Structure 1
Amino acid sequence: IHQALGEINISLKKYHSKVNTYYGKPIEVFKKLSEDYTIAGVFCNRDYEPQAIERDKEVYYFFREKNIPFKAYKDQVIFDKDQIIKKDGSPYTVYTPFAKKWREALTPEHYQSFELNFKNLFPQEYSDILTLKEIGFKKTDFNFSKPVLNASIIDNYDQFRDYPALQHTTQLGIALRFGTISIRKCVDFALKHNAVWLSELIWREFFMQILYHFPQVVHQSFKRQYDNIHWRNNEEDFKHWCEGTTGYPIIDAGMRELNQTGFMHNRVRMIVASFLCKHLLIDWRWGEAYFALKLNDYDLSANNGNWQWAAGSGCDAAPYFRVFNPTAQMEKFDKDLLYIKKWLPEWNTSAYLSPIVEHTFARERALSEYKKGLASAE
């Protein structure tokens, strides 16, 4: 975000304007702005995360007391929270009918582009935005490249997206999360290049509207009966999972990639999430929190939705008896072991650990615990 704002600020210099940046609690910043300026109205783009909603409500009520309009607009989605709903007005909780209605409702107006016009901006003397140090951050050596819609990748996205060694994914998660690429631009491109990638963009909106309508999923299973499962939550096992020392190469490679880069291939995310919940019987919330800590493209709705999908507790989740075999997944999606060798230099040497749990045993244990937990909820 800081890098993108800095670039926008520089681009405004020739128009004798700038981006004003402030640091502090939002309500306190707006109180100070209302003292410094005569504010005619406040305009922002809508956010769907529970904490963001409460933040915006506080600012809204502050300005309402001053009779100052506060307007929030749809921006990071094609359809807003209540635009794709059932006939009875309730939200969809299954992806397929949601996606069907989403596609039916889509028109070119939803993803049309607009020319930018900076010529009438408020004139201001140019100054730099706040530095990272001024807002309590440190610069990392991670290179955030400008987001690009790469036709050579997206045209074949459906064929190669599941193979982690190929890195044949869009790498646009960070840009979509922080708004440095427009969802409208992505949808327009997907319509022209790849229907499967469009489906992934619709999944993104599906999880966003689930989070908005069911904010309790942040802390609870969407299917409440899954909160009766007795998780082992073994801290030593969790440490092995976090550090990538489980003895399962595809799991360990994925976790090493995450820890070293802040990114993990999506297919591998599914495998490591399933392993944590099913093989180790560790609460999906532990894994969700670790991903939140490590992922550069962390998005609450998508992260929560995908973790609950893996655990079986989500609104449109994989059935609890679906347990990925990590060895079979490796053989299917990394048969030449290119991904494994990249992230596990000690693989196939005496230094590499034995599996911390045997697959068949772990699968049977998981099925037993899931059955008991779900039966107790009836």
Structure 2
Amino acid sequence: MAGTVVWLRDDLRLSDNPALSEAARSGDDVVVCYLLDEESPGIRPLGGASRWWLHHSLASLGRDLAELGVHLTLRRGAAASVIPALLEETRADTLLWNRRYGLAERNVDAGIKVWCGEHGIRANSFQANLLFEPWAVTSGSGEPYRVFTPFWRACMDRQSPRAPLEAPSSLRGGPPPVSDELEYWALLPTTPDWAQGLRNTWTPGEGSAHQRLDDFLDSRVEGYRTNRDLPATEGTSRLSPHLRFGEISPFQIWHAARERRDAAVSEDIRVFGSELGWREFCWQLLYFNPELATKNYRPEFDAFAWESSTGAELHAWQKGRTGYPLVDAGMRQMEETGWMHNRVRMVTGSFLIKNLLVDWRVGERWFWDRLVDADTASNAANWQWVAGSGADASPYFRVFNPVTQSRKFDPEGKYLLRYVPELADAENIHEPWKGRSEGYPAPVVDLKESRERALAAFQALRGT
């Protein structure tokens, strides 16, 4: 009897999973495998918060598959050795997966496809995690886009994204291979256990992803274009970690949002859709610039005069003790929940890069470890956007003032007090150094002086 192995990666769901649907249609005995690969060349190991999410997402997926009569097989190691061994062990004649877009991942997949061809095994891949393949949307000259607006306009001029697939109603599960125990992977923190805030905030898994989408579209999408900028308001979808691990697909989000599009929320839906578009843009950037997390997209920034990436100022930023309430609230929100409001991400990133003159790559690595939605493409592209070194970047001379930002987007200080409670008795919650503020640190830098220093460094770069 023929057998099929479905190799899951960043697609931990049953519905709208083309590889899994193809396996169900085949009628073969199906083995569903997740491989934790931290050994293949160029594969970036997950950060701590993402490892926590992965554990619980796999546990949820395992339960969902068990209801279909299929065991989730867990393996760990380099794909080039583990996947062929699994195929030989199961005597499968077909291997199916959904595509990945990082260069290291593509190299791994290409190597596996070559091995399969040499051993008479059919290997097939599918589009599952991006609305548009990165190579399919190019400019009139055939080049990848460098600016978001024409990129997204070109996407919208193409055929509408396909409809999502239903989850298989049944799978034919053969004898399950030997599997690692999830607990054996030690993805969860123990000493110390710093994940209580994550447990209080999130429920990983496909079911939770769809519940979050439904809740957003039912009760929060109206006013999204304004409320998404207010960190004290539950104004965003918070779907990013579910998308990161593929518990829900962009096709499902796109079509669910379109179905709710009426006159009252049409502009909100359009803006919400453009956020999916920004994710697509980031992945195109990574596809054509594989070193996006470590190399300036704009090479002129290679000569930028960064300050030391160690010391008291950096430590204060990491721990939310800079003396600037919005920066500190954001960093503490991330430390507690594994997530940070998007506008606050821009402010905290700008403060590190421009007020402290710390290389954007230091911040990118810190966020990679602390965020449950640490996405290979978006994390790098967004940090480069703030730095001014990326595509369609915020100009370097645009420095987000954390005081102006908090006054505008959190005027009553509700967000600030949620994460910086020692400001409860401050006379001036947005500028606590201007009055009494017991137990809160003084600013680590002066905003005006540090801004002028950053602009001088940028001017020196332009003169090189």
Whole-Å separation in 1 of the counterparts to 2:224 and 2:177: 42
Q: Superposed, which structure 2 residues align to 1:74-93 within 5 Å?
A: 74-93=127-146
- Aligned match of 2:297: 222
Whether the aligned pair in 1 keeps the contact of 2:309 and 2:362 (CA below 8 Å) is: no
**Which secondary structure does the structure 1 equivalent of 2:366 belong to?**
helix
Name the TM-score, length of structure 2 as normaliser: 0.76
Match of 1:290 in 2: 366
Judge conservation of contact 2:339–2:372 (CA < 8 Å) in 1: yes
Cα deviation, 1:252-276, whole Å, max 9, x if unaligned, reads 1111111121111111000000111
Q: Does 1:308 align with 2:404?
A: no
Matched-pair contact (CA < 8 Å) for 1:9–1:129: no
Task: Give the equivalent residue in structure 2 for 1:117.
Answer: 168
Residue 96 in 1 paired to residue 149 in 2? yes
**Secondary structure at the counterpart of residue 124 of structure 2:** strand
1:231 aligns with 2:318: no
SS at match of 1:89: coil
Report the Cα distance in structure 2 between the residues aligned to 1:248 and 1:105, rounded to whole angstroms: 45
1:40-59 correspondence runs (5 A): 40-59=93-112
Is 2:424 aligned against 1:374? no
CA distance, structure 1, for counterparts of residue 296 and residue 309 of structure 2? 20
1:133 aligned residue: 183
Instruction: Give me the whole-angstrom Cα distance separating, in 2, the residues matched to 1:303 and 1:12.
Output: 31
For residue 21 of structure 1, give the secondary structure of its aligned residue in structure 2: strand
The amino acid across from 2:228 in the alignment is: R
CA contact (8 A) 1:277 1:284 kept: yes
| Aligned residues of 1:229 and 1:374 also touching (Cα < 8 A) | no
Q: Deviations over 1:139-192 (max 9, x none)?
A: 654333211212212222112011111131111011000000121111113334
Distance (Å, rounded) in 2 between the aligned partners of 1:354 and 1:12: 53
Conserved in 2, the CA contact under 8 Å of 1:208 and 1:302?
Answer: yes
Query: Which 5+ residue runs of structure 2 have no aligned equivalent?
Result: 1-53, 190-194, 262-268, 427-436
Contact 2:320 2:330 in 1 (8 A): yes
Distance change (3 Å), C-alpha of 1:8 and 1:294: closer
Residue 6 of structure 1 contacts residue 128 of structure 1 at CA under 8 Å; is this kept in 2? no
With 302-311 and 182-191 compared, the bigger mean Cα shift is at: 182-191
What is the CA–CA distance in structure 2 between the aligned matches of 1:7 and 1:356, rounded to whole Å?
Answer: 44
**Higher-strand-fraction structure:** 2
Large movers: runs of 4+ above 4 Å:
125-130
Cα separation, partners in 2 of 1:37 and 1:242, compared to 1, 3 Å:
same
| 1:202-243 CA distance string (max 9 Å, x none) | 000000011001113221111100111100125221111101
Structure number with the higher helix fraction is 1
Task: Please tell me whether the aligned partners of residues 13 and 126 of structure 1 are also in contact (alpha carbons under 8 angstroms).
Answer: no
Root mean square deviation, CA, Å = 2.0
SS at match of 2:237: coil
Equivalent in the alignment of 1:166 = 233
Letter of the 2:301 partner, please give it: Y
Task: Tell me the alpha carbon deviations over residues 308-336 of structure 1, each in whole angstroms, 9 at most, x when there is no partner.
Answer: 11000011101111111111011001110
For the pair 1:203 / 2:278, whether they are aligned, the reply is yes
- Residue 27 of structure 2 corresponds to which residue in structure 1? none
1:162 touches 1:267 (CA, 8 Å); kept in 2? yes
Q: Could you list the runs of 5+ residues in structure 1 that have no partner in the other structure? A: none
Q: Which residue of 2 aligns with 1:358?
A: 446
Secondary structure of the structure 2 residue equivalent to 1:165: coil
Residue 14 (structure 1) shift:
4.7
What amino acid is the match of 1:54? N
* Percentage of pairs with the same residue: 33
Deviation string, structure 1 residues 343-374 (Cα, Å, up to 9, x no partner): 11222223111111111111111011011113
TM-score, with length taken from structure 1: 0.93
- Secondary structure, aligned partner of 2:220: helix
For 1:301, the aligned partner's letter is A
- 1:83 Cα shift? 1.4
